[in-house]
Amino acid sequence: MNYPNGKKSSSQSLRKKEKPDFSNRGMTLEEDIAFTNEYYRIDNIANIHKKPTPVQIVDVHYPKRSAAVIKEAYFKQASTTDFNGIYRGSYIDFEAKETKNKTSFPLSNIHQHQIDHMKDCHHHGGICFLIIKFSLRDETYLLPAEDLFHYWEAQFSGGRKSISYLDIKSKGELLPFHYQARVDYIKVLDKLYF
């Protein structure tokens, strides 16, 4: 077979039938949010960033100076939430989670220290929320912290250990995918808080 550059293809590449690689064909929720946050920053809309996870490095292997490899590391402390920043003079703090479950969001995906952190921020006037992506439905919702707190506390007094998809759909706000602001949560914040 001849290609436009005039070279023949090798018979070996024709015989070797490779499976298409579908890994990474869709971005993760956190990558979409990071892309959105960069758009917000460049357009001077908001300044929101992913929080780094504090790590204590214990052992590093140096085969050569430019190729250091971390062999052992530990989390210094439990992380709080994924993202924080400022928008229209208000502190913004939120967690982002994906689930493959079609009917509910398991509360086990969130930790008590994250709820405690959001409650502290909320108490001091910060705007806190949870962004949940139902991967199999390809739908993303913003759930205000006040609603999240209700479901969180209810699980300890005999309530569900998850939030149903229908509850999230009714109490949360759908975040449609956009080209520049892929997870455009600022429009929802404008609607709910400003």
Q: Is residue 95 part of a domain?
A: yes
Residue 114, marked binder: yes
**59 has binding-site annotation:** no
Q: Which amino acid belongs to residue 179?
A: Y
Cα 58 from Cα 64, distance rounded (Å): 18
pLDDT recorded at residue 161: 97
Q: Is 147 annotated as a binding residue?
A: no
In a domain, 9, yes or no: no
pLDDT at 139: 96
Domain residues for the domain of 180 are 26-51+78-193
**Contact between residue 75 and residue 36 where contact means Cβ atoms under 8 Å apart:** no
State pTM to two decimals: 0.77
User: Mean pLDDT, consecutive 10-residue segments, the chain of 194 residues?
Assistant: 49 44 57 96 97 74 78 70 96 96 96 96 98 96 98 96 98 93 96 95
Concatenating the DSSP letter of every residue in 115-161 gives HHHHHHHHHTT-EEEEEEEETTTTEEEEEEHHHHHHHHHHGGGT--S
180 is in an annotated binding site: no
Looking at residue 9, its pLDDT comes to 47
Q: According to the model, what pLDDT value does residue 72 have?
A: 78
> CATH number for the domain including 86?
3.40.1350.10
Residue 7 lies in a domain: no
Residue 63 pLDDT: 79
